[in-house]
A and B are shown apart, each in its own frame.
Chain A
Amino acid sequence: MDAVIQIQNLTKTYSSGFRALNGINLDIRRGEIFALLGPNGAGKTTLISTICGIVSPSEGQVLADGHDVVTDYRAARSCIGLVPQELTSDAFESVGATLKFSRGLFGKAPDPAHLERTLKALSLWDKRNDRIMTLSGGMKRRVMIAKALAHEPSILFLDEPTAGVDVELRRDMWQMVRQLRDQGVTIILTTHYIEEAEEMADRIGVIRSGEIILVEDKNTLMRKLGRKQLTLQLQNPISAIPASLAQYSLILSEDGQQLTYSFDTQAEQSGIGELLRRLNAEGVDFRDLHTEESSLEEIFVSLVRKQA
C-alpha cells in the first residue's frame, strides 16, 4: 500500500533547546486510520504541527501526498485538514461564516452545497447562523471538525478529537471518522483514550520522548503483545501456593479463593493443561475458571514503562 505521508529523520528542537522530535521515521498508508499514542509531552502535537506547517522542522523531510511540506507547501497543505487539540475558534463568528473562511483560506471556491453536506453530517445545520460562542463544548468540537473538512482534504489530522466530549458524541464522531475513511480520507488521530484507538485504528504508532518506539497493525500488536489471564475460583481457600507450582508465577488472592495465571498469547504452549494437571495432583480443586485478554491500554502502559 502506498504511503500518503512519508516522514524521514524528522527532528524538532525548540529555541529553548528542548528536543521535541528526535529523528522520526514514519509512513502513513493511504486510506488508513492511524492512531498515534503517547504520554503527555511525548511529541504527538509537535509531530502533527510540523507536518501541517504550524511548527518549522529543524531537520528531516515530510512528504504529504508526494509534496514536501516545506518547499512545496501549497500542494502539501491543500490536501491536509487539521482538527487541533484546543477548542480555538472565532467566538463572535457564525458557524456558517467560519466554514466559508476556512474553505477560502485553503484556496477553494465557495461551494454552499458542500458546506451544507458537512454541516448536516455533523448535526450543525440548524446552528449555521449561531455565533460560535453560544455553542456547547461538544458543538464547538464539531465546528472544529467541520472547519477542517471545509476544503475537502484527503488527509485529516485529529489531535485528541474527543477530549472532553460525552460518550454519545464520541460514538458519533467515531462513526463519522469511519465514514470519512470509507470515502478514502486518510485519518491520523492522537488520543488519550486507548479505547478510541482500539475501536477505530487500523495501525498504531507509539511515540515517547520524541521517538517512535513502535508502529504495528492493531490486531497484530494485540496478538503480539497481548497477554491472557486465566483466573481460577477455588473450591476451598488455600493459604499458600504449592511449591511445585512456583514456575507458573501464580498470584493468590488475599482471601485465598482465587488463583491467577498470566500467559503469553504468542507462546507455543500456554501451559494451561499442565497447570491444571498439577493443581489436580496437589489436590487443589476449582469450581470456575475464565480467561481474559489484556486491552490495548494495558499494552500501551507496559510498552511505555518498558522503554522508560
Chain B
Amino acid sequence: MNWYAIRAIYHFEMARTFRTLLQSIASPVISTSLYFVVFGSAIGSRMIAIDGISYGAFIVPGLIMLMLLTESISNASFGIYMPKYSGTIYEVLSAPVSWLEIVIGYVGAAASKSIMLGLLILITARAFVPFSIEHPVWMLAFLILTSISFSLFGFIIGIWADGWEKLQIVPTLIVTPLAFLGGSFYSISMLPPAWQTVTLFNPVVYLISGFRWSFYGVADVSVGVSLTMISVFMLICVMLIRWMFLSGYKLKN
C-alpha cells in the first residue's frame, strides 16, 4: 500500500473542505437546522406522535440521513470531477498508486466530511428537539456505512460526469426524491398498502429505517435487511469503481 499517497490525497481533499468552510460545513448545517425549526418546532408541535415518538424527534434521523446522502454524493463527486475538469488528474493517473488507494484517499475524505457534518447536525438538532439515542454504536455504524456508501456512489458520478450538468443530474433528479420519499418525514406504515409495497423498492427506505431504529428502537423494515442493503450497495459501488479504473472508463481514453 502506498500510504503516503493515500495521506496526500486525503489531506488535499480535507484542506479543500476547510478552505471552503462556510460552503462545506456551515451551509448544510444551517439548511438542516431550518428544517428542524419549520418541521420540528413549528409544525411538529401540532402533529401527533408517530410510534410513540414526537414528530420533531421522529424526523431527526431522516433529516440527518437526507443530508448525509446529498453531502456524501456532492463531496465525492466534486472531489474527483474537479481534477478531471481542471486537468490535474494527470498527476494521480501517472503516480504509482492503485485504484484502491485513490478511492481510499478521495472517498475517505468525502466520507469523513459527511460524518463530521452528520454529528454536527445531530448536536444542532438537540438544540431544537429533545431526543435520545437507544443504540449509539449502531447509530455510528449506520452513519459511517451510509457516508462511505454514498461517497462511493458520488465518486462514480464524478468519474462518469463529463459536464457540470451531469454532475448535478443524479443527485437532483434521483437521490433527493428518493430521500424525500424514503420516509424522512413519515413512517411508511402511514401510506396506503399499495404504496407501502412500492416504497420497498426505494433503497433509501432501508437506510432511514435502520438509522431511525438506532435512535428509537422502532423500524419500518428489519435492521438486518437495512444493513444487508447498505452492504450490498457498497459492494456494487466498489466493484463498479474498480472496473472504471481498470478499464480506464472516462479516465484514460
Interface residues of A (CB under 8 A from B): 14-15, 49, 52-56, 73-78, 80, 82, 84, 86, 88-93, 97, 100-109, 147
Contacts and interface: CB of A to CB of B under 8 A. Distances in A.
Contacts of B7: 104
B105 to A, nearest CB: 9
Interface in B60-114: 86-88, 90-98
Nearest to B87: A88
11 contacts: A15-B253, A56-B252, A89-B88, A90-B12, A90-B86, A104-B11, A105-B5, A106-B4, A106-B96, A107-B5, A108-B4
A56 B90 CA distance: 13
Contact of A53 (B11, B86, B94, B253): B94
Contacts of B9: 105
B93 A54 contact: yes
Interface residues of B, number: 26
Residue among B92, B94, B248 facing the most chain A CB atoms (10 A cut-off) = B94
Contacts of A76: 96
A75 B95 CA distance: 10
A92 B253 contact: no
A97 B87 contact: no
Given A14-B253, A104-B5, A88 B86 contact: yes
A55 B11 CA distance: 26
Given A52-B93, A77-B96, A106-B5, 9 more contacts: A52-B94, A53-B93, A73-B96, A93-B15, A97-B15, A102-B8, A103-B4, A105-B95, A107-B5
Residue among A75, A86, A92, A104 facing the most chain B CB atoms (10 A cut-off) = A104
A276 to B, nearest CB: 58
A88 B90 contact: yes
Interface in B216-253: 248, 252-253
A86 B87 contact: yes
Contacts, number: 85
Contact of B2 (A49, A74, A92): A74
A56 B248 contact: yes
B94 A54 contact: yes
A20 B207 CA distance: 48
B88 A107 contact: no
Given A15-B253, A108-B4, A77 B90 contact: no
A103 B16 CA distance: 18
B93 to A, nearest CB: 5
A106 B95 contact: yes
Contacts of B16: 92
A105 to B, nearest CB: 4
B90 A54 contact: yes
Contacts of B19: 92
Contacts of A109: 4
Contacts of A107: 2, 4-5, 95-97
Contacts of B5: 104-107
Contact of B96 (A56, A75, A88): A75
Given A104-B4, A107-B4, A56 B97 contact: no
A17 B177 CA distance: 40
B94 A82 contact: yes
Interface in B12-55: 12, 15-16, 19
A92 B15 CA distance: 10
A273 B86 CA distance: 62
Nearest to A50: B252
Contacts of B91: 82, 102, 105, 147
A293 B8 CA distance: 52
A76 B94 CA distance: 10
